[in-house]
Each structure stands twice: as structure tokens, then as C-alpha cells.
Structure 1
Amino acid sequence: MHESLRQIVHLTFGLGIAGFVLLFDRDIVLSVLMLALFVGFILSDAISRGYTIPVVSPIIAGLERRDAVPGKGALFFTLGALFCIVFFTKEIAFVGLVALSLLDSVTTLAGLRFGRTRIYNHKSLEGTLAGFAVTAAALCLLLPPGIALMTAAAAAIAELVSPVDDNLVVPVVACLALTLLL
């Protein structure tokens, strides 16, 4: 249940950030994400030093994986989003963040529930295929089908093989693929 809740929060906030990127001016988005990153690092550092922060500490304790840096996933998601906003158009960044939100959550949830065939880095074929399928279907609502499929495939491969946190890599790979394909 813990990981399921974590992934639902990841999906919800990820799609919310993607929508925020699409709806608001680039400068506002950059300012808000930079502020969130700054505050997030302060909170993460304080919690890792043993401070209890009302409201924040229980949320992080309930959602974070065991032995992880407090808020690491959220911080990396924000950093990945910032990179995409700085180096790509907001429309492309939006697609990259949608891809990350859907792919990461669905891959994990499907892998936990249905994953039997481990293919790489403790990840399952079933989770990877489910994440790819859902992401591709969603991107087909935003892009021509061929481009959506190739973007989803690039993102799914990045999610599967990346040696670093997928919140950093997946949106950038999706944005790069989309930029090359358009």
C-alpha cells in the first residue's frame, strides 16, 4: 500500500506540475519551481538532520522509501522539470512531464502487481510494457500517433536502463525525442 500511495501522489503532483507548466508563463513557472526546489532542499536537509517539521515530516515519512534522502523523488522531479523548462519549449516540457508522471507511476504499480519477468535493474517486463502502453496512449491524445509511440518508447527505455533517478532522466529523454521527431 505504501508504494501504491506514493505512486498515486507522484502521478497526481506530476500531472499537476505538467498542467502548471502548460498554463502559466515560463517566468512564473521557473520562479515557482526554483522556490519549491530551494524550500525542498532546506526541508530535506532539516529532516535528514533529525528535525521534525510539523505537517511536512509526517507526510515525507509516510511517502518516502526506506533509507532514502527525505523528499528525494520530489526534489529530482522538480529539478527535471526545471531542466525541461529551461531547455525546451513549454509545450515540449509539458509532454515530457506527462510522460514521466504516467510512465513512472504505471510502470511501478503494474510491476508490483503483475511483474514476474525481471529484465533489467530489478524492473519487470510487465511493468515496463504497461507503463509504455499507458504513456503512449495518453501521448496519442497530444501528438500524432507515430511521434507519440516513439516518444513513449524512448522514455520507457530511459526509465528501464537509467543508472540515475528516473525523475531526472525520463522527462529530458522524452523532450529530446520529441524535439528530434517534430
Structure 2
Amino acid sequence: MGEVLALVDARLRTALGEPDARAAVTFLGADRIEVLRFIDGDVVRYATLGMSGQPMNDPKDLMADPVRGPRAELVLSVRTGPADTDKVLRPLAVLASSPQVEGVIVAPGASLDLGEPLWPGAPFSSVLVAEPGGLVADLELDELMDPVRFLPLLPMTPNEAAWKRVHGAQALQERWLTHGTDLRDPLRGSVTLD
């Protein structure tokens, strides 16, 4: 696990630069999750480190494979400014620990719901997991292991999350694109959902 996380840490630094802050959270029954903060102009990026230490396994499998299975880390990008987005560190760690704690497989198109704002005053309590590969390239591991994928998180308002459950992730992303939604705006309202 430690070797994988060292490689992931190096990949994040190569893609995003040196983190200017990091915090660690440990939940009962789960491995330690770190959240690294990277500043890039007027955008702050938060990336988890620890989720990929073990592969995600289907909870229906009787025996969890300690080597094979999808591996991922989460990346959230928001604009700096009026919102106290640094309070997202613990919620991100909660989301990153969900494969170990709840036995879920986090993959593109999935919704992850916290049941509370991502940070104080945030209009979002859930995120849409987007396709990887844009910001941080997949990290290939030894041949028996799946690559580590760096999954972008797109904050969703409660109305957007409900609409996504009915119409699907692709339809919501198309609506955001059509309306020119700034998904990095930490205070944005819900996109038009008619």
C-alpha cells in the first residue's frame, strides 16, 4: 500500500505542483486519508491521497481481492474567493473512505452524497464523479494491478442531484455545458432544469 501511495503522491506533484497544505483524517475501520491542497492562480485543487492504497471491491464478492480491482483518488477544483472551501478537507476524506467503510465502487457517473454542505454555506451536498484523464493522467501500476484513476468531482446542488437521478449523469453534464455553467464557482446556483 505504501509503495502505491508514494507513486500516487509523486504523480499528483508532477501534475499539480507542490501542495501548499495537507491534512490527514482517519476513520474507524479505514486507512488514513490525506487531502492535499494545490493553488493554481485563482483555482484551488484538493486531491485525496490514500483511497488508492487498496483496490475497490464489489461488496457482493465473498473474498475481496487484495491486488486486483479499480483504484482511484478524488480531485475537486474550485475558484478561490468568498467561500471557505478549505473546510472541504474532512468531507473529501469521508468520500474517499467510502469504498472501505461502505463497500462502494466509486466510478465515473456516480453520485456521492454527504447529506451536508461540502463546506460552510455551500449550495452543494453531493458531487458527480466525472471522467478521469484530463487534469491528472492515470497512473499505471504493476501488471496485476489496475491503474490509479484520478476522478474529478463536480459539485451538485440538491436539485441537480435529483434531476441527475432521473435523467442520468450525461444529461446533467450536457445541461451544464449548454448553459455555460461555471462548475468551479463555489457559490453558483443550480443550472436551469426545465
TM-score scaled by structure 2? Answer: 0.32
More helix by share: 1
Between 1 and 2, higher relative CO (CA 8 Å, sep ≥ 6) is seen in 1
